[in-house]
Structure 1
Amino acid sequence: MPQLTDEDVTEDTGPAPAAPGARAAVPPAAVPPAVPHASPAERPGTWMTPEEYGASRATLWTGAVVLVTDPDGRVLVQSVDYRPDRLLPGGAVDAGEAPAAAAAREVYEELGVEGRYPRGLAVDWIPADAPGMPPGMGFPGEILYVFDGGTWTRDRIESVRLPAQEITAVHFAEPAELPALMDAGDARRALSALRARINGGGAALLEDGRPTTPTALDRLGVLRSPRGALHGTWHPGPVPAHVTTRDPAGWLFAPDGRVLLLVARATGAAHLPPPTAGRTAGALPLGYRYADQGAHPRTAARIVALPPGPDPAYARLLATPEQVRELSDWGPAGHEELAAVHTARAHLALPAPPRTPPTELPAEGCHW
């Protein structure tokens, strides 16, 4: 960073004496003499006046938006009267306003819902040449904060009140629908922020919607295709003998309490593995989901060993049970299944895992 000139530094006198007991930031002998009223090209070193330094700094807009989901994991987007694509709630940060305060103000102005959103999901740098900006706007680039609005209950959603103008409707969209509904950069940003929320590893730093340090979920493009949908009712215990079974899946626990998750590299679709995906111990029937005229059984077990990846088209990750559910569309019965998973984990004497970013397992397999 360039040094600012000090008006007390002159060619004749040198730097002003320091106050008694003060420590000089730079030894006097190392301070180059300033040339009064000289042009920047004539002054030695990197010294600049405050005015010159201020003029050299980049000018950027600042904005704040809020990412809200419903209990089914769909994202709240708004229709507005001034552009065809949809937006997350939010807007410009006013002069002297903190970004989190701007986020709360915008949500209240646009949706009539009061709240505080102190948790950041992402900070995005949007370049001045981002597509879609009218030339006459003089867009200089923007720093945009994405805050976590959390999961809104049905009552909170029903309390939304739209203003007389600007916001014409709100919708809850599947994450995979966002690229078709939003501007490309807005959709990238929303999906990156949603992955950051699922990761639980802190706010993501983005450049035009793309993470500067991609996680496994980012690299695999999770949520860019429809989440695995399985609704229906949850039933504990084994499947009755007279009921047709379909697509058995396993909650296979690693020693740290996380479970195995498969992600298709081509589509980013995530789903539970079959119960035979690895060598296991302590297997027990967890229950089954009854849907599509059949039972979809679930087995819980500890993984003892994982063989080399049989299909390179799939990545194998370890994730918390909550992350698995958030990456799936299981409807209200997902809560009951998740409760059964935690009961099985405790029965297997395994710890409750903290939320950390899912980690990809090596293709050559592993042993525990």
Structure 2
Amino acid sequence: MPGGLAMMQAWGWLFVPDGRCVVLIDTEDWWPLLPGGTVEQLADGGDPVATLKREAVEQAQVSCVDPQYLGYVYDDEGAVHGGIDPCARVRMAARVTQIGPAAPDPATGRMLLRLLAPAQQAVELFGWGEQAHLHAAAAERLAIERWGQRPAPGATVSEIPAAGVVW
């Protein structure tokens, strides 16, 4: 992180044992996203790792371990926070240990559609752009090298069961 650049958000490529990652769909706006959100001083102490873990549970009922920093997306005006100043949106990768039963996001009261998808397929499917391809590739390398989680050939996008998953 460049010195003096505020970390406003933390998002993660969260990998399950079969090498796919968790992708969420906001069913009101049909907006695809990775689990994560705003770094909060009170709840997270300004720590993006704590933010990722908290937001993954709140949004997707996902418990994850071993978050690893991948990089960040530079936001030159802090547009997501009302134009506050330049800031960073941190990107990480982590290993999923379990996915609980579906529940509404306490911040919005909405249910998010929970999917599992190969990282590069998610980038293509949702048109997230070149920077997302780079982060997805780095996340996949990390998942393979650190956790032995290689995407299965022919892996597809599927919905996470409403009851959750435990490995």
Same fold (TM over 0.5): yes
Shift of 1:241: 5.5
Partners of 1:309 and 1:241 in 2: how far apart? 39
Contact kept? 1:286, 1:344, Cα under 8 Å: no
Kindly report which structure 2 residues correspond to 1:105-254, keeping only aligned pairs within 5 A, or say none. 239-240=1-2, 242-254=4-16
Q: Structure 1's 310 and 240: CA in aligned 2 closer, same or farther, altered over 3 A?
A: farther
Shift of 1:240: 4.4
Query: Which structure: larger Rg?
Result: 1
Match of 1:170?
none
1:1-368 residue pairs with structure 2 within 5 A?
A: 239-240=1-2, 242-274=4-36, 275-276=52-53, 277=56, 278-292=62-76, 293-311=86-104, 313-347=111-145, 348-368=147-167
User: What secondary structure sits across from 1:256 in the alignment?
Assistant: coil
Say whether the 8 Å CA contact 2:10–2:91 is kept in structure 1: yes
Please report how far the alpha carbon of residue 324 of structure 1 lies from its aligned counterpart in structure 2 after TM superposition: 1.5
Using the alignment, how far apart are the partners of 1:339 and 1:350 within structure 2? 13
Instruction: Check whether the contact 1:304–1:367 (CA below 8 A) recurs between aligned residues.
Output: yes
Distance change in 2, residues 1:291/1:329 (3 Å): farther
Task: Give the conservation status (yes or no) of the 8 Å contact 1:258–1:319.
Answer: yes
Which secondary structure does the structure 2 equivalent of 1:353 belong to?
coil
Listed one character per residue, the Cα deviations across residues 262-308 of structure 1 (whole Å, up to 9, x for unaligned) are: 01223322111123212212221121111232211111111001222
Q: Could you tell me the TM-score, scaled by structure 1's length?
A: 0.33
Distance change (3 Å), C-alpha of 1:271 and 1:256: same
- In 2, distance between residues paired with 1:316 and 1:363? 9
Secondary structure in 2 matching 1:354:
coil
RMSD, matched Cα? 2.0
Separation in structure 1 between the aligned mates of residue 140 and residue 94 of structure 2, nearest angstrom: 12
Q: Deviations over 1:223-257 (max 9, x none)?
A: xxxxxxxxxxxxxxxx3452111231111000000
Query: Deviations along 1:55-109, whole A, 9 cap, x unmatched?
Result: xxxxxxxxxxxxxxxxxxxxxxxxxxxxxxxxxxxxxxxxxxxxxxxxxxxxxxx
Which amino acid is 2:34 matched to?
L
Structure 2 residue runs without a partner (length 5+)? 37-51, 57-61, 77-85, 105-109
Q: Which residue of 1 is the match for residue 43 of structure 2? A: none
Secondary structure in 1 matching 2:142: helix
Which stretches in structure 1 are left out of the alignment for 5+ residues?
1-238
Paired with 2:133 and 2:156, the residues of 1 have a C-alpha distance of 21
1:325 CA displacement: 0.6
CA distance, structure 1, for counterparts of residue 30 and residue 153 of structure 2: 24
- The equivalent residue for 1:38 is none
Q: 1:328 to 1:242 in 2, by over 3 A?
A: farther
Q: Report the AA paired with residue 21 of structure 2.
A: V
Which letter does structure 1 place at the counterpart of 2:159?
E
Instruction: Quote the sequence identity (%).
Output: 32
Relative contact order (alpha carbons < 8 A, sep ≥ 6): 1 or 2 greater?
Answer: 2
- 1:310 maps to a residue whose letter is A
User: Amino acid of the residue matched to residue 242 of structure 1?
Assistant: G
2:93 corresponds to which letter in structure 1?
A: A
Question: Could you say which structure has the higher strand fraction?
Answer: 2
> 1:364 and 1:262 mapped to 2: Cα distance?
16
Distance in 1 between residues matched to 2:74 and 2:118, nearest whole Å:
24
Provide Cα deviations, 1:28-50, integer angstroms capped at 9, x if missing partner. Answer: xxxxxxxxxxxxxxxxxxxxxxx
Runs of 4+ in 1 over 6 A off after TM superposition: none
